[in-house]
């Protein structure tokens, strides 16, 4: 974090400022750094999800369920139904995993609905110069999540087929052979293809989510620039300010679909990969 705090003076600096993470190494370019804002925001949101769902579960009423309880039950039933339709294994881990992934991603995506300057201005009072409030717009967060999902699928595969069966399938698929000699010849090819497949799963999960949320965040920043009076670049007319409010409202309504859809896709692919892990080729 920089010792001196200065407000961005141009639209370019404004966008660059909001797209910069609060890092352990803010100005020196190094290979390894830790994004503190991504870590803490995602962690707080995760604990908030657990606290709310845990509280609803403890206070659940069968006779007189409240509206919020019915809303939570609707989400749980939707996720449970999707898992039942897609996953055909016997693991009890997939349904809780799918629910956690869906709600966590929805809540992290929903941070995009906060005014872009709200939390950064609040934290600037405490000397924090940079703050990126949408964890899923950070490729490091989405890569960590997708890597965790793939590791879980590997665990499910080993659990369903045994370590020997998993390794045997890893080196005998997707190309099969009847003779032992051809099986040995195909081992490096199959191993390479499997590594490419797992790598593509990690990248597809991470890049799809991060790319969509980064683009959404950038659009909100561009809309914020319409209100030049609020950002301090120059004087703005009442028409410009009205245009900002109108454009922001329209994009926020449309962005609701993106937020939920991206979380649903991430959850669905997670379930599909888990199902593929326990099934035989």
C-alpha closest to that of 171 among 157, 192, 154, 156: 192
Q: Cβ distance 158 to 277 under 8 Å?
A: no
Look up 140 and say whether it is catalytic: no
Look up 208 and say whether it is catalytic: yes
Question: Of 140, 148, 208, 236, which is the active-site residue?
Answer: 208
Q: Cβ distance 116 to 224 under 8 Å?
A: yes
Look up 275 and say whether it is catalytic: no
Question: Of 212, 237, 249, 275, which is the active-site residue?
Answer: 212
Pairwise CA distance, residues 240 & 235, whole Å: 10
Q: What residues act catalytically? A: 204, 208, 212
């Amino acid at each position: 974090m920089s010792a001196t705090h200065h407000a961005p003076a141009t639209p370019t600096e404004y966008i660059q400022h909001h797209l910069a993470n609060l890092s352990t190494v803010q100005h020196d370019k190094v290979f390894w750094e830790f994004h503190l804002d991504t870590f803490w925001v995602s962690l707080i949101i995760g604990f908030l999800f657990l606290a709310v769902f845990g509280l609803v579960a403890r206070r659940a009423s069968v006779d007189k369920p409240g509206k919020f309880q019915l809303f939570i039950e609707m989400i749980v039933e939707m996720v449970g139904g999707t898992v039942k339709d897609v996953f055909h294994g016997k693991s009890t881990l997939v349904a809780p995993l799918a629910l956690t992934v869906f709600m966590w991603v929805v809540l992290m995506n929903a941070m995009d609905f906060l005014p872009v300057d709200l939390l950064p201005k609040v934290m600037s009072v405490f000397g924090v110069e940079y703050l990126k409030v949408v964890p899923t717009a950070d490729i490091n967060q989405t890569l960590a999540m997708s890597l965790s999902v793939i590791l879980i699928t590997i665990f499910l595969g080993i659990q369903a087929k045994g370590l020997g069966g998993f390794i045997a399938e890893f080196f005998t698929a997707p190309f099969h052979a009847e003779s032992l000699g051809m099986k040995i010849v195909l081992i490096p090819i199959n191993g390479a293809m499997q590594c490419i497949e797992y790598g593509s799963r990690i990248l597809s999960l991470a890049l799809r989510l991060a790319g969509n949320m980064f683009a959404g965040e950038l659009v909100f920043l561009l809309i914020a620039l319409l209100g030049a009076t609020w950002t301090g670049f120059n004087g703005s007319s009442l028409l410009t300010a009205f245009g900002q409010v109108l454009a922001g409202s329209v994009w926020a309504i449309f962005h609701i679909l993106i937020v939920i859809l991206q979380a649903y896709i991430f959850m669905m692919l997670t379930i599909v990969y888990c199902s593929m892990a326990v099934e035989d080729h």
